[in-house]
């Protein structure tokens, strides 16, 4: 450790009193040993070089023939294995090395990023000393109660402390070093910011859409959601982004999608489309779950169960309303038909029940559940178009029925009695057509046996 400026001045003063001179010689700076790379770092570096060389040979920018490519490949593999076997002899082949690379690639990349974003302890001391010195000098300058002598003494003390902490010869040298290494100081802040950005909570408004046909595009899925949405809900490609993952090898869709929303209202509207038909398949619409693979699977299972329970409760309520209104009888649909309803969307169930009641009319079916099941399957096959047509027809029918209704009760005719309905003229005046009034339709005994003459006065 070198001497501070105050120590040097004292030594010079003492030497002068003895009639001698004192020259300060700074001690040699300790040579900082570079940190040796770990075993995994050596293997990763060699594997990465081999991976890049093989990729370049595959692209063949130098137009090598087959023999030259094989030779270059063997050379690259031999160099990589020679480096790796110096730290680990268990990796004997290039295939084993590349397999290790694929398994540890993400971990090593993450570790390297962390190292790039750190500063050595020596550099940290220098930055800290410069910052403390600057703050102390500002505090001394702003202290109005301090006299000139105390201020000079405080400045020399602050300078000596800063140089002792950073190990440099002068404050000017420290300030020059700080100015030259500002980028180094900014790196950990940037790394911390990037880490903070990566740790931000993901958008919670995401739906998982499963069981979609493999040939379904994002545009078709968007139109499907739009068809089932109410008119008051307006969705666009900005508020509703659809992503259909593809297989890395085959480049074909995996049969499911993720839909990200900016508006939670649209997301909850789309949740109602669970079990709606799309191109002949019933899709699953569930809240997306985050976390690890196991946690995600468990959460998806739980949310699917909650969604199924919601659909079951909704269907039970719809059927109960139809029974309460008298349109359905208790037990008219068996358990099989009700379970089928619970595997469809509420809109499909509503449309199927409406068509069933309309087509049934006053008829009595021997097997109403079979007839209803047939209607349900037909609506499912027709998809959104069939449901839209059924909804429009139902709306038109309700509108017509509403126009015929009146709050006024119809006036009862004065002749609307049992006698009039039986064809007997109950008026006290003679009939205009001279027809004899006959009461035998009401009193059959007047036309047979004893007592036929008793009714003569009534003619």
pLDDT digits (tens, 9 = 90+) for 376-401: 888 777 765 555 566 566 555 555 55
Least confident of 199-203, 241-245, 355-359: 199-203
What tokens appear for 293 in the block? 């693979």
Percent over 70 (pLDDT), the chain = 69
Please give the mean pLDDT across all residues of the chain.
75
pLDDT tier at 329, thresholds 50, 70, 90: confident
The answer to whether residue 243 scores a pLDDT higher than 70 is: yes
Q: Which of 115-129, 194-208, 282-296 has the lowest mean pLDDT?
A: 194-208
Beta bridge partners of 240: 261
The residues spanned by each domain of the chain are 39-116, 119-191, 206-288, 310-402
Per residue in 158-177, pLDDT tens? 888 888 888 788 888 888 88
d(CA 385, CA 278): 10
> Is residue 362 over pLDDT 60?
yes
Least confident of 79-88, 174-183, 251-260: 174-183
Confidence band (pLDDT; 50, 70, 90) for 341? confident
Task: Choose the weakest-confidence range: 232-241, 276-285, 298-307, 430-439.
Answer: 430-439
Structure token pair of residue 280: 């002949």
Q: What is the pLDDT of residues 185-240, one digit of tens each?
A: 665 555 555 555 544 455 668 888 988 998 999 899 888 888 877 666 677 878 88
Instruction: Dig out the tokens for 382 from the structure.
Output: 């027709």
The string of pLDDT tens digits covering residues 308-322 is 777 788 888 888 888
The pLDDT value recorded for residue 40 is 86
- Of the candidates 206, 353, 349, the one whose C-alpha atom is nearest the C-alpha of residue 275 is 349
What's 428's DSSP letter? Answer: S
pLDDT value at residue 377: 83
CA atoms of 339 and 355, how far apart (whole Å): 18
pLDDT at position 259 over 50 = yes
Per-residue pLDDT at 70? 87
Q: Would you state the pLDDT for residue 439?
A: 58
| pLDDT higher than threshold 70 for residue 445 | no
CB 333 within 8 A of CB 368: yes
Tell me the pairing of strands 284-287 and 206-210.
Answer: antiparallel
Q: In the prediction, which pLDDT does 406 show? A: 45
Q: What was the pLDDT predicted at 453?
A: 52
Mean pLDDT value across residues 446-454 = 57
Three-state DSSP at 439 gives coil
In Å, how far from its chain's centre is CA 47? Answer: 36
Query: Which contiguous run of DSSP H or E holds residue 110?
Result: helix 94-116
Question: For 206-288, which CATH superfamily applies?
Answer: RRM (RNA recognition motif) domain (3.30.70.330)
pTM > 0.75: no
Question: What is the edge-to-edge ordering of all strands in the sheet holding 240-243?
Answer: 240-243, 257-261, 206-210, 284-287
In this model, does residue 447 exceed pLDDT 50?
Answer: yes
Distance between CA 261 and CA 285 in Å, rounded? Answer: 14
Q: Range with the lowest mean pLDDT among 33-37, 366-370, 386-390?
A: 386-390
């Amino acid at each position: 450790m070198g001497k501070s400026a105050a120590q040097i001045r004292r030594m010079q003063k003492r030497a002068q009193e003895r009639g001698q001179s004192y020259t300060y010689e700074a001690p040699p700076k300790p040579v900082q040993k570079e940190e040796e790379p770990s075993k995994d770092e050596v293997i990763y570096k060699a594997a990465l070089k081999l991976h890049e060389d093989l990729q370049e040979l595959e692209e063949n920018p130098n137009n090598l023939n087959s023999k030259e490519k094989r030779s270059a490949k063997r050379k690259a593999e031999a160099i990589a294995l020679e480096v790796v076997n110096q730290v680990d002899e268990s990796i004997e082949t290039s295939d084993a090395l590349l397999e290790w690379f694929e398994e540890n690639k993400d971990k090593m990349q993450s570790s390297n990023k962390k190292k790039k974003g750190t500063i050595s302890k020596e550099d940290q001391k220098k930055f800290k000393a410069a910052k403390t010195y600057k703050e102390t000098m500002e505090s001394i300058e702003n202290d109005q109660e301090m006299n000139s002598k105390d201020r000079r003494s405080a400045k020399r003390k602050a300078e000596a402390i800063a140089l002792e902490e950073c190990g440099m010869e002068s404050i000017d040298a420290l300030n020059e070093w700080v100015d030259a290494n500002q980028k180094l100081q900014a790196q950990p802040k940037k790394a911390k910011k990037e880490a903070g950005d990566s740790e931000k909570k993901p958008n919670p408004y995401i739906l998982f859409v499963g069981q979609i046909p493999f040939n379904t595009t994002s545009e078709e899925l968007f139109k499907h959601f739009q068809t089932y949405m109410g008119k008051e809900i307006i969705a666009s490609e900005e508020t509703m982004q659809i992503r259909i993952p593809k297989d890395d090898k085959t480049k074909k869709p995996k049969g499911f999608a993720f839909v990200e929303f900016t508006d939670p209202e649209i997301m909850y509207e789309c949740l109602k489309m669970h079990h709606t038909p799309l191109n002949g398949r019933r899709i699953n619409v569930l809240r997306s779950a985050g976390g690890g693979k196991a946690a995600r699977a468990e959460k998806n299972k739980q949310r699917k169960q909650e969604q199924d329970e919601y659909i079951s409760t909704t269907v039970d309520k719809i059927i109960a309303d139809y029974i309460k209104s008298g349109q359905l009888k208790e037990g008219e649909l068996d358990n099989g038909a009700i379970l089928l309803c619970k595997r469809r969307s509420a809109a499909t169930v509503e449309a199927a029940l409406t068509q069933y009641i309309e087509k049934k009319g006053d008829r009595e079916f021997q097997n109403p559940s079979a007839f209803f099941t047939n209607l349900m399957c037909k609506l499912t096959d027709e998809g959104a178009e069939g449901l839209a047509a059924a909804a429009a027809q139902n709306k038109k029918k309700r509108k017509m029925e509403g126009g015929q209704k009146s709050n006024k009760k119809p006036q009862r005719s004065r002749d609307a009695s049992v006698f009039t309905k039986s064809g007997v003229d109950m008026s006290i005046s003679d009939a205009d057509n001279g027809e004899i009034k006959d009461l035998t339709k009401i009193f059959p005994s007047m036309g047979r046996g004893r007592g036929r003459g008793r009714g003569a006065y009534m003619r």
